[in-house]
Chains A and B, each alone.
Chain A
Amino acid sequence: MEEPLLRLNGISKRFPGIRALDNVSLSVHSGEVHALIGENGAGKSTLVKILSGVLPPSEGEIYLEGRRVAFRSPHESQLVGISAIHQEATMFPELSVTENIFMGHHLTKRGFIGWGSMEKRTRELLASLDIGIDPRSKVKTLSFAERQMVEIAKALSINTKIVIMDEPTSALTLREVEHLYKIVRQLVADGKAVIFISHKFEEIYEIADSYTVLRDGAWVGEGQVKTSTVDQIVRLMVGRSLDQMYEKTEVAPGPVALKVDHLTRNGVFKDISFELRQGEILGFFGLVGAGRSEVMRVLFGIDRADGGEISIGGTKVAIRNPAEAMRQGIALVPEDRQLQGAILAMNIRENMTLPIISNLAKHRILRREAENEIAERYGSMLQVKSAGWEAPVNSLSGGNQQKVVIAKWLATNPRVLVLDEPTKGIDVGTKATVHKFISELAARKIAVILVSSELPEILGMSDSVIVMHEGRITARISRAEASPEKVMLAATAATAGHGGERSPL
């Protein structure tokens, strides 16, 4: 076979304590759409960052048209002909479409910018992609889809050879998706290659020619889309060795603690109904953007529901804000602990007592002994490793920060505890502690909702699993019946049945 347009050989990427990519190889030929497939956290994004020059690989080589290349910056990667469609992050909202396309390589004539010729070239580029946008409009006035198209036009303006699209359809309407497909086909017809990242099988079968599957940062398989079945690809995606053990204590579930009926938030999720019993762990699985975290935000009163009911312990409640949620006995450990969970500059004690601070006061004066007692009780229960409870949270490792956040919410004595991605980005050892601890909480009759993108975690910890896809529940599976394939299918392939309802956003 001829030399591929792009060839990756043994690419590895290590971060402190984590091996994000391990010996990944990949070949892409010109004139083809190559799908990069994998679960959340499989290493797709890291690979894209390496290809687009954002991160350097720790090991391995990249060959473009047979020549070895290395880039120190995204700019260098673009110069050799690789463009990643980064979406939002790399646009200039206050500037015009023309300028967004030419920023960094404005056309000049005798040292002065030729706005006329740039605008003409922009019109040509947009016309060639059949995009009806005024080159003079500011990017901030464009829709998400239009911005994406502008990014593609930008890639073409510098004669790119390879276009990387990272889940490009995730926020598009059906018609916009059709337009995008058309553009992708046009690109490959012109001899360019497209690397298409997706976990929707419908899409992969529609647009891709070949594929590579990553799992846990490693290459696990590749092939031609035409000659592979969905089952084969799903098995590659999930079929992992279950070397992680989950300590789970069997608990006889108590009465219903939380009941959610037809909960709806327009354009985000719809008709979410479920029951949660005391001592039960209910897993919420779904791919990024499925709407799981958004449901939890409504449960906790951060966002408002547009319809549906929430009952706690058999009584219907209206949760208007987080304070109300806490009074009703709901606690949420959010996904992004740096942004939402912990106040990094405060110390461990202050973080832990923050939600219950008014309970610890006497005559409006905070009682330090009460605070110390709380910090001691929950800190040692969770085995937070630190230089004492006065150490600032930003001095702790990620895993220990997460423990502090969990401890903070436990101190509120919740009846329902929502954990959103509790083990994201923490090391294996700490993960085990957190898992063990979740199990202990359930044994103490706390009702737990576990939102996770990690399939083994969901399967290992949950009494039953709810799978969401594009804002809806697509499956409810009991612990006994849950298999990785079943859950992953419900999270991905369900698209086929909902194709027509994709544009609520």
Chain B
Amino acid sequence: MKDLFKRRETSLFVIILILAAAVGFRAHDFVTPGNFLFIFKDSSILFVVSIGQFLVILTGGIDLSVASIMGFTGMSVALLDKVNPNMPLVVIILAAMAIGFVLGSFNGLLVSALNIPPIIATLGTLSIYRGFVIVLSGGTWVSADQMAAPFRDFPQASFLGLSNMICIAIVVFAVFAVFLHLTRKGRDIYGIGGNMLASQYVGIDVKKTNFMVFALSGILSGLAGYLWVAFYASAANDSAAGLELQTVAACVVGGVSILGGYGTIAGVLLGSIFIGVVKNALSMIRISPFWQVAIQGFVILLAIVLNTVLDRRAQASMLKRRVL
């Protein structure tokens, strides 16, 4: 029974392995520890933002503003660091999360207090927050040599032999795994996504929960915003632009129901890694850059279809067994 629950994650894992093996056949550089480490590092930013997206999607909503929040917080902390090169990194990271919280809370208010559908509300703030980036930067960017060394080097540095980026991803994974599985608030998220009416019947505060997921998504996007500008050592006006769709893809590839109420954090992790693998593989096997985006989309779609078909078949066989 337990295996059945994990079926979607297992099949995705197998899909990733097959994909990696196939790419490895064409490009031997692909299957090196160094390259895998790079993929994990690269995917960890996507994973952190995708967890926020995941929480929102679990409630049946969507947050299209995550990449704009990343862009804005990334620009803010890069400017903060440029002006105060001696500011401790901890303060910078906390500031990034605080800014993300404010922007995410605004989304939360639009959705829970004003009852605006999440897709509309965050489509609006996607543009607003991105617009703020340009207002803030005055149209310029912050380059690597304008950043203080600790600020820029943190993602590349390592803790106990493990890259800081990967450490952060592990901590985020652990915190949200506990939150979603072992706290009432976490279960409430599954509840309102699964059946909103029923959740109200058992006394769950739907508005508060909706607000909470957007605020959390904002905090995680804020954290990821810092990681992005530090990892790529540049804060531009279009930093992370377009990443919001990759976070949705990471969730859906990972088996999260776009209608809400179902999904696992392990699935989101695998979904993020899958997208990281695809992006990396395409440049490894020297696909023309003109084609990469289109092929990336095609492969993601293929993975979703494959995974859904496998899952449906598993469910059908389960039902059949029930009837017999």
Q: Give me the interface of A with B, judged by CB distance under 8 Å.
A: 73-75, 78-79, 86, 89-95, 99, 103-106, 108, 111-113, 115, 134, 136-137, 141, 143
Contacts and interface: CB of A to CB of B under 8 A. Distances in A.
A10 B201 CA distance: 26
Contact of B198 (A78, A103, A136, A143): A103
Smallest CB-CB A-B distances: 7 pairs: A104-B202, A75-B203, A90-B198, A92-B194, A74-B201, A94-B262, A112-B182
Interface string B190-217: 1100110111111110000000000000
12 contacts: A78-B201, A78-B202, A79-B203, A90-B197, A90-B201, A99-B190, A103-B198, A103-B202, A106-B184, A106-B187, A113-B182, A113-B183
Given A74-B202, A104-B199, A115-B182, 18 more contacts: A73-B200, A74-B201, A75-B203, A89-B197, A89-B198, A90-B197, A90-B198, A90-B202, A92-B195, A95-B191, A99-B187, A103-B187, A104-B191, A104-B203, A105-B203, A112-B178, A113-B184, A143-B322
Nearest to B259: A94
Contacts of B178: 112
Contacts of B322: 141, 143
A87 to B, nearest CB: 11
Nearest to B191: A103
Contacts of B271: none
B184 A94 contact: no
A86 B318 CA distance: 26
A91 B201 contact: no
Given A103-B191, A141-B322, A74 B200 contact: yes
Nearest to A134: B1
Interface in B173-188: 178, 181-184, 187
Contact of B201 (A86, A105, A115, A143): A86
A89 B195 CA distance: 8
Contacts of B183: 108, 111-113
Nearest to B203: A75
Contacts of A94: 190, 194, 257, 261-262
B64 to A, nearest CB: 24
A136 B1 contact: yes
B195 A91 contact: yes
Contacts of B194: 92-95
A395 B190 CA distance: 37
Contacts of B181: 113
Contacts of B294: none
A111 B182 CA distance: 8
B198 A92 contact: yes
Interface residues of B, number: 25
A302 B224 CA distance: 52
Contacts of A73: 200-201, 203
Contacts of A95: 190-191, 194, 261
B114 interface: no
Contacts of A86: 201
Contacts of B197: 89-90
B182 A75 contact: no
B203 A92 contact: no
B160 interface: no
Nearest to B323: A143
A397 B202 CA distance: 34
Contacts of A93: 194-195, 261
B319 interface: yes
Contacts of A90: 195, 197-198, 201-202
Interface string B283-324: 000000000000000000000000000000000001100100
Contacts of B187: 99, 103, 106, 113
A154 B183 CA distance: 20
B239 to A, nearest CB: 36
A105 B202 contact: yes
A83 to B, nearest CB: 10
Contact of B1 (A74, A92, A137): A137
A429 to B, nearest CB: 34
B189 to A, nearest CB: 12
Given A90-B195, A91-B195, A136-B1, A141 B184 contact: no
Nearest to A54: B201
A113 B191 CA distance: 15
Contacts of B199: 103-104
Contacts of B262: 94
B190 A92 contact: yes
Nearest to A77: B201
Contacts of A105: 202-203
Contacts of A115: 182
A141 B201 contact: no
Nearest to A100: B198
B261 A92 contact: yes
* Residue in A92, A111, A141 whose Cβ sees the most chain B Cβ within 10 Å: A92
Nearest to A52: B201
Interface string B145-183: 000000000000000000000000000000000100111
A91 B319 CA distance: 19
A380 B69 CA distance: 57
A86 B201 CA distance: 10
Nearest to A142: B322
A467 B181 CA distance: 53
A89 B202 CA distance: 12
B311 to A, nearest CB: 12
Given A106-B184, A136-B1, A141-B318, A91 B198 contact: yes
* Residue in A91, A105, A108, A113 whose Cβ sees the most chain B Cβ within 10 Å: A113
A103 B194 CA distance: 11
Given A90-B195, A91-B198, A141-B322, A104 B204 contact: yes
Nearest to B319: A141
